[in-house]
């Protein structure tokens, strides 16, 4: 029994590092936990639905099977574009981009990926490990239609489906709060209203009490 992410990530060299730096005992807790965190619960689903981007890590594989370099790409779209299909499945519409197809090519050779989702404003971050598979638009138009966002200006080339293996939340340390234009807009509107009110007072005598 273990928290699923530790089964995926605590390799021998990671355990050695934990011993070397004195945190092995602390990390044993993850390996004996009954809280497996191997699926999307309501908490993760709500967080994912609010995201308009995530980072996708895959890695290259050479023709002889040797592991290649890690690769991270930013994926963006309308809020909620990473869909929760069910508690073990996520998916998103892959838009036409720079046509390098690094993630798409990596996934075919080794489906193991990491997703990293940030809420900078609330200083929260979610890690997801999954096996990815590609569904070409021509092969399943119904899936593509269900996973896309009508009216969003991008050409969908394929769906990327993630079979979820593990999830884990991180603490907020060292996350600088950042706000989107959408989040800041109400404050800008309020500033404009206050400026207009102030302008109405301009030129009027100051009342001394
Ligand atoms: C015209 C165009 C040019 C792009 N150029 C770049 C680029 O130079 N570098 C980059 O990281 N992403 C670029 N992007 C965004 C990527 O194409 C997009 O994130 C895509 O999903 C990358 O997938 P991949 O990294 O898995 O190949 C571009 C997108 C478009 C539409």
- Chain segment 58-77, per-residue pLDDT in tens: 999 999 999 999 999 999 99
CA of 98 to the centre of ligand 1 (A): 4
CA of 133 to the centre of ligand 1 (A): 20
Atom of ligand 1 nearest to the CA of 74: 19
Q: Which residue's alpha carbon is at the smallest distance from atom 7 of ligand 1?
A: 98
pLDDT, averaged across the chain: 95
CA of 24 to the centre of ligand 1 (A): 40
For Cα atoms 42, 157, 159, give the angle at the middle one, nearest 5 degrees: 25
Higher pLDDT: 131 or 209? It is 131
Greatest Cα pair distance in the chain? 86
- The string of pLDDT tens digits covering residues 13-53 is 999 999 999 999 999 999 999 999 999 999 999 999 999 99
Mutate to test the pocket of ligand 1, among 60, 98, 134 (most ligand atoms within 8 A of CB): 98
What residue ranges do the domains of the chain occupy? 1-36, 37-180
Mutate to test the pocket of ligand 1, among 73, 82, 93, 97 (most ligand atoms within 8 A of CB): 97
Q: Which residue's alpha carbon is at the smallest distance from atom 14 of ligand 1?
A: 98
Q: Decide yes or no: CATH 2.30.110.10 for domain 37-180.
A: yes
Using H for helix, E for strand and C for coil, what is the string for the chain?
A: CCCHHHHHHCCHHHHHHHHHCCCHHHHHHHHCCCCCCCCCCHHHHHHHHCCCEEEEEEEEECCCCCEEEEEEEEEECCCCCCEEEECCEEEEEEECCCCCCHHHHHHHHCCEEEEEEEECCCCEEEEEEEEEEEEECCCCHHHHHHHCCCCCCCCEEEEEEEEEEEEEEECCCCCCCCCCHHHHHHHHHHHHHHHHHHHHHCCCCCCCC
CA of 96 to the centre of ligand 1 (A): 8
Q: Please tell me the distance from the alpha carbon of residue 177 to that of residue 22, in angstroms, as a whole number.
A: 31
Sign of CA dihedral 189, 122, 94, 43: negative
CA of 4 to the centre of ligand 1 (A): 32
Give, in order, the Cα–Cα distances in Å from 118 to each of 62, 134, 146, 148: 31, 24, 25, 21
Q: What is the mean pLDDT of residues 155-176?
A: 95
């Amino acid at each position: 029994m273990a928290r699923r992410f530790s089964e995926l990530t605590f390799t021998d060299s990671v355990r050695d590092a934990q011993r070397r730096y004195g945190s092995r005992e602390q990390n044993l807790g993850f390996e004996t936990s009954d809280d497996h965190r191997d699926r999307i619960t309501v908490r993760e689903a709500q967080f994912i639905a609010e995201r308009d981007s995530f980072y996708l890590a895959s890695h290259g594989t050479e023709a002889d099977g040797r592991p290649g370099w890690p690769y991270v790409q930013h994926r963006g779209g309308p809020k909620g574009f990473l869909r929760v299909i069910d508690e073990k499945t996520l998916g998103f519409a892959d838009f036409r981009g720079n046509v390098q197809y690094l993630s798409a090519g990596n996934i075919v050779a080794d489906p193991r990926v990491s997703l990293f989702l940030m809420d900078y404003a609330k200083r929260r971050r979610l890690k997801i490990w999954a096996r990815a598979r590609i569904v070409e638009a021509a092969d399943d138009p119904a899936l593509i239609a269900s996973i896309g966002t009508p009216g969003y200006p991008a050409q969908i080339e394929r769906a990327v489906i993630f079979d979820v293996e593990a999830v884990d939340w991180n603490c907020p340390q060292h996350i600088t709060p950042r706000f989107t234009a959408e989040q800041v807009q109400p404050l800008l509107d309020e500033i404009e209203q206050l400026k207009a009110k102030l302008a109405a007072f301009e030129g009027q005598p100051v009342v001394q009490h």
